[in-house]
Amino acid sequence: MKKHKNVSIIKASGEVVPFYSEKLKHSLLKSGASEEQVENILAQIEDNLYHGISTKKIYQQAYQLQIKACHNGIGPIWFPI
């Protein structure tokens, strides 16, 4: 798995772990997003990563980006798991 910029994120449990883009990619694909949508969302999320960001915040951002894509007519709406 690809670790991104040695950024540490905080899971809901409070555990601090490295950010792995492949985990987010897997979740987005599992939710029904297309490969193209996933790549666009990942690029934007990775641009806004910072040490200590929560997984909740990451998924909120991903959800907002997916809603935005939906309003632009480029894909189905999905809900985080």
Note whether residue 80 is domain-resident.
no
Distance between CA atoms of residues 58 and 54, nearest Å:
6
Note whether residue 78 is domain-resident.
no
Identify the domain containing residue 53 by its residue range.
3-71
Long-range Cβ contact pairs of 38-44 (< 8 A, separation 24 or more): 40/65, 40/69, 41/65, 41/66, 41/69
Note whether residue 23 is domain-resident.
yes
In the chain, the number of structural domains is 1
Distance between CA atoms of residues 80 and 77, nearest Å:
10
Note whether residue 45 is domain-resident.
yes
What pLDDT shows up at residue 81?
Answer: 43
DSSP one-letter code for 63: H
Question: 18, 6 in Cβ contact below 8 A?
Answer: yes
What pLDDT shows up at residue 65?
Answer: 87
pLDDT in tens, the chain (81 residues): 455 568 999 999 999 999 999 999 999 888 888 898 899 999 999 999 999 999 999 999 998 888 777 666 555 555 444
What pLDDT shows up at residue 72?
Answer: 61
